[in-house]
Amino acid sequence: MRIAVIGAGPGGLYTACLVKRLRPHDVVEVWEANAARDTFGFGVVFSDGALGGIEAADPALFEAVTAEFARWTRIDVHYRDRTQRNEGYGFAAVSRHTLLRLLQERCAALGVRLHFGTPAPEVSRLRASHDLVVAADGVGSRTRARYAAAFGTQRQEAGSRYMWLGTDRPFDALTFAVVETEHGPVQAHAYPYAPGRSTFIVEVGDAVWRAAGFRSAERRPADPVGDRDGIDQVARYFSGLLDGHALWGNRSYWGHFTAVRNRNWSHGNLVLLGDSAHTTHFSIGSGTKLAMEDGLALATALHEHRTVPEALAAYETERRPAVERMQRIALTSLEWFENIDRCVGLPPDAFNAHLLTRSGRLTRDDLPAVDAEHVGRIRRRFADAA
């Protein structure tokens, strides 16, 4: 079988890697518009539930990725000069650059053909020359847009704005912080992902964003930082939390989170995967995990079904319920943050409790359980193929 993958994010690379592991004779080719070392973002969080599947499907990759993990067990809430420390959670995070490098190396070792700095050929040409085309080209997927009617795509932009930043402030917990500016609340979500490196996502309601004088900066592709004025202003707001540490960008600009849903995840021999199929608000940190789990489900479905249409139907049947559940949780979380001003003013204990229970299901116990039987099945499948 010949398989074309559009996009070398975590979803596309993990799919390519697992297909090659299960079906070494397939020709798997990945196109990535950016250079190999060039990507957006900083660190990404994984829940423990994601790791069981990843470990079982490819222990070598699992070992390499988990060796790079920052791990912690606390959620800290900084609000009105108080820090509430909430113990008993389980988080792990890794630099997105590192994750992609490890996935690229694994793909190369398994014989996946990788083309970096090369936008994918026209999709209709790929569909004609390949048995299957995987559109793993992210939230703004042009492939999906081209067949939007067939996929039944729905896109909904959040009212609030965010910017994905990094800092050398070594956080040791998943950290939520609210700064009450004269214009209204501005909040940050921060967590460690490597020694001396933390992700710092700032989020603000549109009215506060405008009143505070933030602007949509002109995008300058040659500038590796992004919206320098915006970043400086955010650093001033959070100077107490940053405690003298730097805040930096990686082609970072203000954006709106876009919720993506599709009525159908495939159209003929073209299939959506990861953010091109579905997105979840970053406040529940699960998009990378979901994209990789999609890859695992698609690779196993291709291995277990005789035809591509059967495999694509099985892939969607397996993934849709889990994805939609996470999208519901993410939507509730997004709405809580969009309406944060309703809770700002509560005493710190009450604010802390509201934040932690905002989705009703966001405790460690509610993260998708590691289904031991499911993991065992994956391990056997990949062991048979090895």
Ligand X SMILES: Cc1cc2nc3c(=O)[nH]c(=O)nc-3n(C[C@H](O)[C@H](O)[C@H](O)COP(=O)(O)OP(=O)(O)OC[C@H]3O[C@@H](n4cnc5c(N)ncnc54)[C@H](O)[C@@H]3O)c2cc1C
Contact between 282 and ligand X per CB under 6 A: yes
Question: Residue count at the site for ligand X (CB under 6 A)?
Answer: 32
Lay out the site mask for ligand X across 230-269 (x = CB under 6 A, - = otherwise): ----------------------------------------
Among 27, 33, 353, 370, binds ligand X (CB under 6 A): 33
Contact between 275 and ligand X per CB under 6 A: yes
| Residue 359 to residue 165: CA distance in whole angstroms | 25
Contact between 57 and ligand X per CB under 6 A: no
Which contiguous run of DSSP H or E holds residue 381? helix 372-385
CB of 137 to ligand X, least distance (A): 4
CB of 6 to ligand X, least distance (A): 5
Of 361 and 385, nearer to ligand X (C-beta) is 361
Contact between 12 and ligand X per CB under 6 A: yes
Bridge-based pairing state of the strands 153-157 and 258-262: antiparallel
Of 22 and 259, nearer to ligand X (C-beta) is 259
Which amino acid is present at 362?
A: L
- Max distance between CA atoms of the chain, in angstroms, equals 62
Of 22 and 44, nearer to ligand X (C-beta) is 44
Lay out the site mask for ligand X across 126-155 (x = CB under 6 A, - = otherwise): ----------xxx---x-------------
Query: Residue 218 in 3-state DSSP?
Result: coil
Which amino acid is present at 298?
A: L
| 169 Cβ contact list (under 8 Å, min separation 6) | 190, 198, 200, 241, 242, 243, 245
Using CB atoms within 10 A of its CB, is residue 277 exposed (0-12), middle (13-18) or buried (19+)? buried
**Residue 143 and residue 159 in contact, taking contact as beta carbons nearer than 8 Å:** no
Among 77, 120, 158, 340, binds ligand X (CB under 6 A): 120
Contact between 72 and ligand X per CB under 6 A: no
| 224 Cβ contact list (under 8 Å, min separation 6) | 249, 250, 251
Contact between 66 and ligand X per CB under 6 A: no
Among 58, 230, 274, 336, binds ligand X (CB under 6 A): 274
Which contiguous run of DSSP H or E holds residue 241? helix 239-242
Among 286, 300, 327, 352, binds ligand X (CB under 6 A): 286
Among 21, 130, 289, 303, binds ligand X (CB under 6 A): 289
Helices (H), 58-196: 59-66, 96-110, 123-129, 142-146, 148-151
Residues found near ligand X in the complex (CB under 6 A)? 6-12, 31-34, 41, 44-45, 119-120, 136-138, 142, 162, 164, 201, 274-275, 282, 285-289, 291
